[in-house]
Amino acid sequence: MNETRKETPIFPQEAEVVIIGGGVVGSATAYFLAKENKNVVLLEKGYCAGEASGGNAAWVWSLTRKAGIDLQLAMHSISIHEKLQAELELDFEYRARGGLMIIDAENQVPFVKAHLDQRKKDGHPLEMIDANEVLEIEPMLNRDRILGGVWNPVDGTTNPILLVASLNRESEKLGVKIHHHTEVKGIDVSQGQVKSVTTDRGTIKTDCVVNAAGSWAGHIGKMVGITVPVSPFQMAMLVTEQVPRCLFHPIMGASYMVEEDTGKEGGLGSGLIASQQVSGNLLLGASWRDAGFDKRTIQEEIERIARVNIEAMPSLKDIRVIRSFANFFPHTPDDLPILGSVKGVEGFIMASGHNGHGVCLGPGSGKLVAELLCNGNTSVPMEKLKLERSALSVE
Amino acid sequence: MEKAELAIIGGGPGGISAAVAAAESGVNVTILDENARIGGQIFRQLEKGFTLTNPKAMGRDYQKGVDLFRQFKQVESRINYLNHATVWGIFDHHRIAYERNRKSKTIEYKNLLIASGAYDRPVPFPGWTLPGVLTAGGAQNLVKNQRILPGKKFLLAGTGPLQLVLAHQLIQAGADIAAILEVGDVKGSWLKLMQGMWGNWGYAGDGLQYLQTIRKAGVPIMRNHIIARANGNQNVEKAVIARVDKDWRVIHNTRKSLNVDTVCLGYGLVTSTELTRLAQCDHEYDNGLGGYVPVRSETMETTQKGIFAVGDGAGVAGSQVALAEGRIAGIAASQALGHAPGVGQKKTLAELQKKLTRHHRLRKVLDEISRPRPGLYELAEDETIICRCEDVTFKQIKTLIQKEGINAKDIKRTTRVGMGSCGGRMCGPILIELLRNLGSQISGQPEGLNVRPPVKPIPLGVLAGAENNE
């Protein structure tokens, strides 16, 4: 007999808010709602932080966020990471030591400059630094290739699995009921209002559901008759053995600014992403491709990621890779998350589509959704994030 | 890219026997072997610089190995033997990626045979991570192949007749053994059991010889006994042993302490299934063995068409079974590849199947003694390390196991158990047994951990320099 969850008799009958999805976004939403004394049930089809939240670069990163709402969300969320760091009991290894983007080809320069111009206009200026400064910050980088870089002091890394564990531990103390390995089967909507959520272990009466299902957000959307344009998009990375500290900051290659769209339409995209975890493992990336819900990594990805990293950091050549992993990120057509209420379905709240930035943006998104549900005044205006925005071209 | 009609991973008895059978039918074979020479663990050839003065002292298995090597020689022209080749991935489109001489290479196969072998079952108890605690296989490798005696005063703890083989080898090398602990409830004579293990009455002579050595050295064989703890500062100084009940649970007030500096643990073997899992073959839990094995047909084909699995990597049953299974699979693969069966191969198949049936019958007797019982996984205490790479304790896992529906993969992600350099080879099987024994909130057989390439640590530079697949 295959593995199944044992039946337990206790299952909630009703809740003020049911959150679907126990990733960073869902767990943060639960936490902030619980702090406002809401009666919350969090449902997770697997185990919390088991999908994209549990396998990613673990960055809290705003350097490449575009001026406007994109950056606004990131900056807001970084402030929430800082607050959580101070108020949650369990350390989740959030370290804001600054992030670095490296320029290693002439064709990247105009893209980087344009980005910096936009940021300056937006009131969040970033400075270019020269090759020597880059090498002072990260001595492992290839001296022969570096043309310069961009430094952003507010960025850093975290441990998203611990972040979720830490949020959940606190939420449970505040009365949130978390049910793992519980799958949502349907959502009952009557006269345009959410009435209940049916799972594989019972029905919960509620008039509010938060769709924080990440790549599965479209699947949940269908249950209330709406189209949510979120699709899974695979990103793969390598993990090395634990080594003494040799990388000090999250490092991204500026090629990301040039070739943003490779990897779609059947191709394989790649770019430099490197950082070292508190444990000493190097997390090296990345490649991306459209692989549906397939989590396996392919040979080409593994070799490509290794090449990208060896070109940037040749002295890592003897460090051994112990595994690869891939996850799919909830991708939206305009790279922005879908947050907020949905026209025509009262009580159905979207909180998905973070495009590989769920770890960075998750705490902020959770806070915004909680604000929306509690008093309606959100710290960041959410108009541009709604499902009905034109960029998503949903009828 | 290299191409092979039949690619074989592993150069032990199963892999070599398959290679010989296939080559005899005219198949071009490539063997990828991590070792320097063919033979695997059991038929391991002497390291360079050693010469054999008395072949008889090497035991019957060595002779069997010599026979196999001779057969191999005869068909060598059709076999491309690649030593020091570490397979790091099996991918779609019939591709294997491997490292050899600090280069990553790809080979495309038509059929694939995995003979990945087995390794000593890891059993956690307080002190099991102390220097001086070895696996029986590790100790045997040191004594037999390196001619190194890893300690002065030994305790052998575990189950099954292989412990007696090790004891014999240690005594021959001059070791002082305090005791041999057999955790199983062995009724009847050891000799009979040893015969069962080899599944061949012709081997009685070896078993008798081993028992005589042990008796002459005055080493007690203590049945229904387990090692419950190893104590010491830098190294093992004492071992706490105890009597166990039929479920291998320690009986109160039976503990006593022995002064030893080396403990060899021989709780049988667990299959190396990383490669068959990577190849997406279905696996099932073998209760007699206490571990996962790939699901196979009568011809050793897995649930993936054209992928065969033989030997200890497919169900620990020793070298005789590996030889027979290898031959069966080698013939089956040749036929699948469109080669006419070699002279007498049809007849051979039937004989081999009969031989296997006999082996399996005898194996059942041994399994009944050595099949892991719950008590084996109840020795660990809160602070006992379960995952050596990531320092995950028993307490961390025990606490999580009580959570709703939590499974091995969830525990891995949450605690980092199995995320180290060994890829979960050590703690993976332990985790499954803990899930089975600690009242986890899942029903049915717990699933194992995922495997992601590279399955063995490979330098980043090697992966980066991988040749293009033109």
Interface of A with B in 174-213 (CB under 8 A): 179-182
Query: Are residue A189 and residue A301 in the same domain, yes or no?
Result: no
What is the dotted CATH code of the domain comprising B122-267? 3.50.50.60
Query: Are residue A326 and residue A340 in the same domain, yes or no?
Result: no
Q: Is A3 on the interface with B (CB under 8 A)?
A: yes
Q: Are the beta carbons of B407 and A325 separated by less than 8 Å?
A: no
Q: How confident is the model at residue A120 (pLDDT cuts 50, 70, 90)?
A: very high
Query: Are residue A195 and residue A224 in the same domain, yes or no?
Result: yes
Q: How confident is the model at residue B200 (pLDDT cuts 50, 70, 90)?
A: very low
State how far the Cα of A257 lies from the Cα of A253, in Å rounded to an integer: 8
For residue range A253-286, list pLDDT tens digits in order.
Answer: 999 988 665 555 668 899 999 999 999 999 999 9
Percent helix, strand, coil in chain A, to 5, is 30, 30, 40
Q: What is the pLDDT of residue B444?
A: 80
The continuous run of DSSP H or E covering B96 comes out as strand B95-100
Say whether pLDDT at B315 is over 70: yes
Query: Are residue A239 and residue A377 in the same domain, yes or no?
Result: no
Say whether pLDDT at B30 is over 50: yes
Q: Is A241 on the interface with B (CB under 8 A)?
A: yes
For residue range A53-109, list pLDDT tens digits in order.
Answer: 999 999 999 999 999 999 999 999 999 999 999 999 999 999 999 999 999 999 999
Q: Calculate mean pLDDT across residues B215-238.
A: 97
Q: Is B439 on the interface with A (CB under 8 A)?
A: no
State how far the Cα of B8 lies from the Cα of B116, in Å rounded to an integer: 9
Cβ neighbours of residue B248 under 8 Å, at least 6 residues apart? B183, B226, B372, B373, B374, B375, B376
Q: Which of A302, A315, A316, A327 is most worth mutating to test chain B (most B CB atoms within 10 A of its CB)?
A: A302
What is the residue type of A217?
A: A
Q: How confident is the model at residue A334 (pLDDT cuts 50, 70, 90)?
A: very high
State how far the Cα of A238 lies from the Cα of B457, in Å rounded to an integer: 11
Q: What is the pLDDT of residue A395?
A: 47
- Judging contacts by C-beta atoms under 8 Å, the chain A residues touching residue B405 are 5-6, 47, 180-182
Q: What is the pLDDT of residue B220?
A: 96
Pairing of strands A40-43, A99-103: unpaired
Query: Are residue A170 and residue A316 in the same domain, yes or no?
Result: no
Pairing of strands A127-130, A148-152: antiparallel
Q: Is B89 on the interface with A (CB under 8 A)?
A: yes
Q: Is B406 on the interface with A (CB under 8 A)?
A: yes
A2-6, B44-48, B197-201, B314-318: the lowest-pLDDT one? B197-201
Query: Are residue A221 and residue A108 in the same domain, yes or no?
Result: no
What is the residue type of B438?
A: L
Every domain range in chain B assigned CATH 3.50.50.60: 2-119+270-342, 122-267
Which of A331, A362, A379 delimits the end of a domain?
A: A331
Say whether pLDDT at B88 is over 70: yes
In terms of pTM, does the model score above 0.95? no
Q: Are the beta carbons of A47 and B453 separated by less than 8 Å?
A: no
Q: Is the dihedral of CA A77, A153, A52, A386 positive or negative?
A: positive
Q: What is the pLDDT of residue B196?
A: 61
Q: Is A375 on the interface with B (CB under 8 A)?
A: no
State how far the Cα of A184 lies from the Cα of A202, in Å rounded to an integer: 9
Q: Are the beta carbons of A320 and B457 separated by less than 8 Å?
A: yes
Which burial class, exposed, middle or buried, applies to B304 when counting CB atoms under 10 A from its CB (0-12, 13-18, 19+)?
Answer: middle
Q: Are the beta carbons of B420 and A317 separated by less than 8 Å?
A: no
Q: Are the beta carbons of A180 and B459 separated by less than 8 Å?
A: no
Q: How confident is the model at residue A372 (pLDDT cuts 50, 70, 90)?
A: very high
State how far the Cα of A14 lies from the Cα of A142, in Å rounded to an integer: 58
Query: Are residue A173 and residue A280 in the same domain, yes or no?
Result: no
Residue A126 sits in a domain whose CATH number is 3.30.9.10
The label of the residue with tokens 């089967």 reads A185
ipTM exceeding the 0.90 mark: yes
Q: How confident is the model at residue B228 (pLDDT cuts 50, 70, 90)?
A: very high
Q: Is B101 on the interface with A (CB under 8 A)?
A: no
Q: Is B204 on the interface with A (CB under 8 A)?
A: no
State how far the Cα of A329 lies from the Cα of A323, in Å rounded to an integer: 20
Q: What is the pLDDT of residue B202?
A: 43
DSSP string, A73-101: HHHHHHHHHHHHHHH-SS----B---EEE
State how far the Cα of A89 lies from the Cα of A144, in Å rounded to an integer: 45
* A139 found inside a domain: yes
Please give the backbone phi and psi of residue A6, each rounded to the nearest 5 degrees, phi first. Answer: -70, 145
DSSP string, B283-306: EEEETTTTEEEE---TTSB-SSTT
State how far the Cα of A187 lies from the Cα of A207, in Å rounded to an integer: 10
- Say which of B404, B423, B464 has its CB closest to residue A5: B404
DSSP H stretches of helix in B25-74? 60-74
Angle made by CA atoms B291, B17, B317, in degrees to the nearest 5: 25
* A24 found inside a domain: yes
Which of A331, A347, A364 delimits the end of a domain?
A: A331
State how far the Cα of B204 lies from the Cα of B189, in Å rounded to an integer: 12
Say whether pLDDT at B384 is over 60: yes
- Say which of B407, B409, B458 has its CB closest to residue A320: B458
CB pairs under 8 A between A and B: 136
Q: Is B445 on the interface with A (CB under 8 A)?
A: yes
* CA torsion angle B93 B117 B298 B433 (round to 10): -100
A9-23, B124-138, B456-470: the lowest-pLDDT one? B456-470
* A273 found inside a domain: yes
Contact B145, B398 (CB under 8 A): no
- Judging contacts by C-beta atoms under 8 Å, the chain A residues touching residue B465 are 310
Q: Is A49 on the interface with B (CB under 8 A)?
A: yes
- Judging contacts by C-beta atoms under 8 Å, the chain B residues touching residue A242 are 420
* A146 found inside a domain: yes
Q: Is A322 on the interface with B (CB under 8 A)?
A: yes
Nearest Cα to A365, choosing from A153, A34, A70?
A70
Query: Are residue A320 and residue A344 in the same domain, yes or no?
Result: no
CA B450, distance to chain mean position in Å, is 19
Query: Are residue A113 and residue A243 in the same domain, yes or no?
Result: yes
Alpha carbon of B271: minimum distance to chain A alpha carbons (Å): 20
Q: Are the beta carbons of A310 and B444 separated by less than 8 Å?
A: no
Whole-number mean pLDDT of chain B?
89
Q: What is the pLDDT of residue B155?
A: 98
For residue range A296-309, list pLDDT tens digits in order.
Answer: 999 999 999 999 99
The continuous run of DSSP H or E covering A362 comes out as helix A358-374
A175-184, A186-195, B142-151, B185-194: the lowest-pLDDT one? B185-194
Contact B341, B298 (CB under 8 A): no
Say whether pLDDT at A246 is over 60: yes
Say whether pLDDT at A183 is over 90: yes
Q: What is the pLDDT of residue A1?
A: 62
Contact A212, A20 (CB under 8 A): yes
Q: Which of B1, B435, B452 is most worth mutating to test chain A (most A CB atoms within 10 A of its CB)?
A: B452
Q: Calculate mean pLDDT across residues B250-257.
A: 97
Q: What is the pLDDT of residue A6?
A: 77
Q: Is the dihedral of CA A352, A354, A359, A364 positive or negative?
A: negative
Alpha-carbon separation of residue A379 from A382, B17, B22, B310 (angstroms): 9, 70, 71, 63
Q: CB B300: neighbour CB atoms within 10 A?
A: 29
State how far the Cα of B216 lies from the Cα of B228, in Å rounded to an integer: 28
Nearest Cα to B125, choosing from B394, B373, B391?
B394
Interface of B with A in 449-468 (CB under 8 A): 452-455, 457-461, 463-466
Q: How confident is the model at residue B447 (pLDDT cuts 50, 70, 90)?
A: confident
Q: Which of A199, A238, A309, A321 is most worth mutating to test chain B (most B CB atoms within 10 A of its CB)?
A: A321
Alpha carbon of B441: minimum distance to chain A alpha carbons (Å): 5
- Say which of A165, A279, A322 has its CB closest to residue B457: A322
* A4 found inside a domain: no
Domain count, chain A: 2
Q: What is the pLDDT of residue A20?
A: 98
Interface of A with B in 118-177 (CB under 8 A): 161, 165
Q: Is B421 on the interface with A (CB under 8 A)?
A: yes
CATH 2.40.50.100 fits B2-119+270-342, yes or no: no
Say whether pLDDT at B62 is over 80: no
Contact A145, A104 (CB under 8 A): yes
Q: Are the beta carbons of B444 and A4 separated by less than 8 Å?
A: yes
Contact A255, A271 (CB under 8 A): yes
Query: Are residue A168 and residue A311 in the same domain, yes or no?
Result: no
Alpha-carbon separation of residue B459 from A53, A308, B450, B464, B465 (angstroms): 27, 14, 21, 9, 10
Query: Are residue A223 and residue A238 in the same domain, yes or no?
Result: no
Query: Are residue A147 and residue A247 in the same domain, yes or no?
Result: yes
Residue A360 sits in a domain whose CATH number is 3.50.50.60
Whole-number mean pLDDT of chain A?
95
Q: Is B441 on the interface with A (CB under 8 A)?
A: yes
Interface of B with A in 106-125 (CB under 8 A): 106
Say whether pLDDT at B42 is over 50: yes
Alpha carbon of B469: minimum distance to chain A alpha carbons (Å): 9
Q: What is the pLDDT of residue B60?
A: 62
Q: Is A245 on the interface with B (CB under 8 A)?
A: no
Which of A331, A352, A375 delimits the end of a domain?
A: A331
- Say which of A182, A311, A320 has its CB closest to residue B459: A320
A221-225, B402-406, B465-469: the lowest-pLDDT one? B465-469
Q: What is the pLDDT of residue A124?
A: 94
Q: What is the pLDDT of residue B442?
A: 77
Q: How confident is the model at residue B186 (pLDDT cuts 50, 70, 90)?
A: confident
Contact A181, A45 (CB under 8 A): yes
* A184 found inside a domain: yes
State how far the Cα of B266 lies from the Cα of B264, in Å rounded to an integer: 6
Q: Is A310 on the interface with B (CB under 8 A)?
A: yes
Q: Are the beta carbons of A302 and B444 separated by less than 8 Å?
A: no
- Judging contacts by C-beta atoms under 8 Å, the chain B residues touching residue A268 are none
What is the residue type of B382?
A: D
Q: Is A264 on the interface with B (CB under 8 A)?
A: no
- Judging contacts by C-beta atoms under 8 Å, the chain B residues touching residue A49 are 413-414
Q: What is the pLDDT of residue B411?
A: 93
* A296 found inside a domain: yes
Q: Are the beta carbons of A316 and B460 separated by less than 8 Å?
A: yes
For residue B235, how many C-alpha atoms fall within 13 Å in the half-sphere facing its CB? 12
Q: Is A303 on the interface with B (CB under 8 A)?
A: yes
For A258, the domain range is: 99-152+231-331
Q: How confident is the model at residue A38 (pLDDT cuts 50, 70, 90)?
A: very high
Alpha carbon of B155: minimum distance to chain A alpha carbons (Å): 33
Q: Is A11 on the interface with B (CB under 8 A)?
A: no
Q: Is B41 on the interface with A (CB under 8 A)?
A: no
Q: Are the beta carbons of B459 and A161 separated by less than 8 Å?
A: no
Say whether pLDDT at B201 is over 70: no
Say whether pLDDT at B343 is over 80: no
Interface of B with A in 384-403 (CB under 8 A): 390, 403
Nearest Cα to B28, choosing from B108, B141, B128?
B108
Contact B397, B321 (CB under 8 A): no
- Judging contacts by C-beta atoms under 8 Å, the chain A residues touching residue B455 are 323
Q: What is the pLDDT of residue B468?
A: 46
For residue range B99-119, list pLDDT tens digits in order.
Answer: 999 999 999 999 999 999 999
